[in-house]
Amino acid sequence: MFEGIMKGLAKVLVSVHGPSSAWLGMDRDMRKLMSLFQRIPAPDQQSPQKLRRSYRLSTSLWSLPVHPSVTVRDEVVNEDITLRWYESARENDQCLVYFHGGGMMIGDLQTHDRFCRWVANRRGMTVVAVDYRLAPEHPFPAGAEDAIKAWNYIANSWSNAGKELKNLGIGGDSAGGYLATMVCQQFARSGLSVKPDIMPAWQWLIYPVTDCTDRSSEAWGTYSHDLVLTSQLMNRFHDNYVPNVEQQSLPEASPGLASDEVFTQLPPAIVITAEYDPLRDQGLAYARKLRSAGVAVVSHHEPKLPHGYISFGGYSDGALRGIEKAISLIDVICLQARRTMPGQVDKVVPE
CA distance 333 to 52: 33
Which is catalytic among the residues 231, 277, 299, 316? 277
**Catalytic residue among 100, 112, 238, 307, which?**
307
d(CA 114, CA 186): 29
Structure letter (DSSP) for residue 249: G
Task: Give me the count of residues in the chain.
Answer: 351
Which member of 20, 174, 254, 311 is catalytic? 174
Residues 6 or more apart whose Cβ sits within 8 Å of residue 60 = 3, 6
With residue 240 as reference, give the H or E element that holds it. Answer: helix 231-241
Burial of 3 (0-12, 13-18, 19+ CB in 10 A): exposed
Query: How many Å apart are CA 68 and CA 103, to the nearest integer?
Result: 29
Phi, psi of 220 (to 5 degrees): -60, -40
**CA–CA gap between residue 329 and residue 348 (Å, rounded):** 27
Residue 71 backbone phi and psi in degrees, to 5: -95, 145
∠ CA 72-87-57 to the nearest 5 degrees? 45
The 10 Å Cβ neighbour count of residue 129 is 30
Q: Tell me if residue 277 is catalytic.
A: yes
Q: Any catalytic annotation for residue 159?
A: no
User: Active-site positions?
Assistant: 174, 277, 307
